[in-house]
Amino acid sequence: MKQAVQIKENVYWVGVRDLNNRHFHGELYPIEEGTTYNAYLIVDDQVTLIDTVEAEFADECIERIVSVLGDRPIDNIILQHAEPDHSGAFVKIYAKYPNAKVYASQGGVRNMKAQYFGDVPIQVLKTDDTMSTGKYTLTFVEMQMIHWPDNMLTYSPELKVVFSNDAFGQHIINYQMTDENLDRWYCIEQAKEYFANIVLSYTAQVKAKLNLILSKNWEIEYIMPAHGIIWKQYIPDILAAYQKFANLENKNKVLIVYQSVWNHTQQIAESMAEGFAAGGMEVKIYKLSETKSSIVFREAMDSKLICLGSGTYNNDMSYSVAAFLEHLRAAKLKGKKGLTFGAYGWFPKVPSILDEKMAEAGLEMVQNAIGQSFSPNQEQLDNYYETAKEIAKNL
């Protein structure tokens, strides 16, 4: 039998580890080591389950619950988010505990009924609603668009725990459960990657809700998200990091991404990378076809300048560059500057097309697109180096 993991007195992790998942949210977010679907059990005068797991892991979640409760029933089920990785096991769990009272936000009620059923009574929770389970009080905060309209989080002042659902999540599998045996930088970088690929389009909402949470001056000993590790040692760090993420604070950094047919566009990219570095900027450079999109957008999030290059493919940009542009448009990045470049043979328009698409995505272009006919010679490569160095100094 799978066992629950006790996190603190009367609070247990009853989630699952999806060790073989490498594509979170379909192709949207490639991940390295799998993920977790975290569900939590509070054992008090009333037993409360916060969130469930993916449908295929329902039996494992139930085993962990039973390892704590035995034959005792669950009294309350809090559905903080109706997305299937958090709600998919609900039907099977509710069938085992049919007398449990079920709670969700107004959007959560609508989404649960649309996805799974129409006859289970679900009580609506709003921001600042509270519930007593005996010794513990649960307070609820709606977290609309972080990253669905139905998201919410739950706080217990007696436990000093925030159950944050998707907020503060990451894809770290750690059998010790908390961040205490992990490197701080690694934890924050994983949270940054999660934010960049799941939450980035909703920075305004994150900023507003984060300010609301901080204004409440909650005592927090644990932040328990729905994916990844539980925050304990690095709570001040993740709260500070989220403020930076939400404000899209730029480092003195340039991200160069490109796709190249015959290495000509790559030569331009590499010459500019050295020029930007000589001008004092941190440089990240990736070939799009060889790099996971999750990494690219993690680095885009705090880059001051984004440079995009493409060779010419049948009189058009490469497919991977087109996909990047669509993702960039959806990400709604603010306060970024852009530069485009590319090599061509007889059709010279691809770099200027990239220019237009980058501007449409909200970037301010630092100069006209750089176009290179066939192979760049050394003088031209030196010019690209000097151009990048000058842009870096001006930025």
How many structural domains does the chain have? Answer: 2
Residue 85 is a catalytic residue:
yes
90 and 210 belong to one structural domain:
yes
> Pick the catalytic residue: 60, 142, 166, 299?
166
83 tagged catalytic: yes
User: Are 309 and 347 part of one and the same domain?
Assistant: yes
**Stretch 302-321: mean pLDDT:** 95
The one catalytic residue in 25, 183, 219, 364 is 25
- Is there a single domain that holds both residue 221 and residue 255? no
Torsion of CA 321, 323, 325, 330, to 10 degrees: -160
CATH assignment at residue 211 = 3.60.15.10
- The answer on 327 and 188 residing in a single domain is no
Say whether both 186 and 231 belong to one domain.
yes
pLDDT number for residue 120: 86
Considering the domain architecture, whether residues 235 and 264 belong to the same structural domain is answered as no
Instruction: Kindly state the average pLDDT of the residues 303-317.
Output: 95
Residue 354 belongs to what domain range? Answer: 251-394
To the query of whether residue 45 is one of the catalytic residues in this protein, the response is no
**pLDDT value for 264:** 96
pLDDT in the model for residue 22: 87
CA distances for 278 relative to 242, 275, 281, 361, 386, angstroms: 31, 5, 7, 28, 9
**pLDDT of 153 above 90:** yes
pLDDT in tens, 2-40: 999 999 999 999 999 999 988 887 777 889 889 999 999
User: Of 231, 247, 263, which residue constitutes the final position of a domain?
Assistant: 247
Q: Which of 54, 227, 234, 299 is catalytic?
A: 227
301 and 243 within one domain: no
Is it the case that residue 128 has pLDDT exceeding 90?
yes
Query: What is the number of residues in the chain?
Result: 395
User: How sure is the predictor about 390, in pLDDT bands with cuts at 50, 70 and 90?
Assistant: very high
Whole-number pLDDT of residue 258: 98
CB 384 within 8 A of CB 371: no
User: Is 286 annotated in the active site?
Assistant: no
Instruction: Specify the amino acid at residue 277.
Output: A
Domain identity same for 181 and 284: no
Note the pLDDT tens digit of each residue in 323-342. 999 999 999 999 999 999 99
**Active site annotation includes 264:** no
Residue 195 per-residue DSSP state: I
Q: Report pLDDT for 353.
A: 96
Domain boundary among 247, 271, 306: 247
What average pLDDT does the segment 168-181 reach? 97
| Per annotation, catalytic residue among 81, 86, 171, 264 | 81
Catalytic residue among 40, 94, 142, 147: 147
Residue 81 designated active-site: yes
Q: How far is CA 10 from CA 43, 59, 66, 256, in A?
A: 5, 22, 14, 49
Tell which of 199, 219, 247 closes a domain: 247
90/29 same-domain check: yes
Q: What is the pLDDT of residue 137?
A: 98
Mean pLDDT of 340-355: 94
386: CATH: 3.40.50.360
Name the region of 38 (left: φ>0; alpha: ψ -120 to 50; beta: rest).
beta
Q: Confirm whether 316 is a catalytic residue.
A: no
Percent of the chain at pLDDT > 90 equals 91
Q: What pLDDT score does 165 carry?
A: 96
pTM of this prediction? 0.92
Q: Quick one: 224 and 264 in the same domain?
A: no
Q: Which of 44, 54, 75, 85 is catalytic?
A: 85
Choosing from 40, 136, 194, 384, the catalytic residue is: 194
| 185 and 101 within one domain | yes
pLDDT at position 116 is: 84
Same domain, 304 and 363: yes
